[in-house]
Structure 1
């Protein structure tokens, strides 16, 4: 059995082709991300990966639309999105495939 703490991971990412990770794979990337109200990411897209975001707690805005606890957002390859935490929020994010260096455009501020 392996154990780790999310605080030791980079930006909440704990499965994927990066370090540190609990499972090294190019098949998928998984993160649990905590945001404080006002945290944001600039408009960006992926050329290869589909990114699925589940809002676990809080309220966020992506591309001008608000989402709250329980909402699931699927962003397909080449579809751009931005992100803003409208209140303290927790998300679970899955990217598949786990395509490293597949983020184009703006980056987290």
Structure 2
């Protein structure tokens, strides 16, 4: 058994096609992300990947909709969202497949 420190990874991303990582894979990316109240991420979308965001603790606003603990938000390719932590929040995120460069700022490509 090996133990690792989440703080050694960039923005909580610990599995996927980047460095550092625990496992190089193109199949998926995984992260545990920690936010302080008021943290904000700009609206963005992925053209290929589906992103699953689990709100482990806290409350967030995504596209003007509030989500709390135990919510799982599925964001499909081409769907854009922003993200604001309303309180201190921890999320678990999975993106599949893992496609380097598949993040685009702005509105939904289907608009």
Equivalent residue of 1:11, what SS?
helix
Say whether residues 1:18 and 2:18 are aligned partners.
yes
Structure 2 residue aligned with 1:94? 94
Deviation above 4 Å: which 4+ runs of structure 1?
none
Q: How many residues align?
A: 106
Alignment of 1:42-81 (within 5 A): 42-81=42-81
| CA distance in 1 between partners of 2:55 and 2:17 (Å) | 24
Equivalent residue of 2:10, what SS?
coil
Unaligned runs of 5+ in 2: 107-111
Question: What CA RMSD, in Å, does the superposition of the two structures yield over aligned residues?
Answer: 0.8
Structure 1 residue aligned with 2:9? 9
Structure 2 residue aligned with 1:34? 34
| CA distance in 2 between partners of 1:79 and 1:97 (Å) | 15
| CA distance in 2 between partners of 1:87 and 1:94 (Å) | 22
How far does residue 100 in structure 1 lie from its aligned partner after superposition?
A: 1.1
Q: TM-score, length-normalised on structure 1? A: 0.95
Q: TM-score, length-normalised on structure 2? A: 0.93
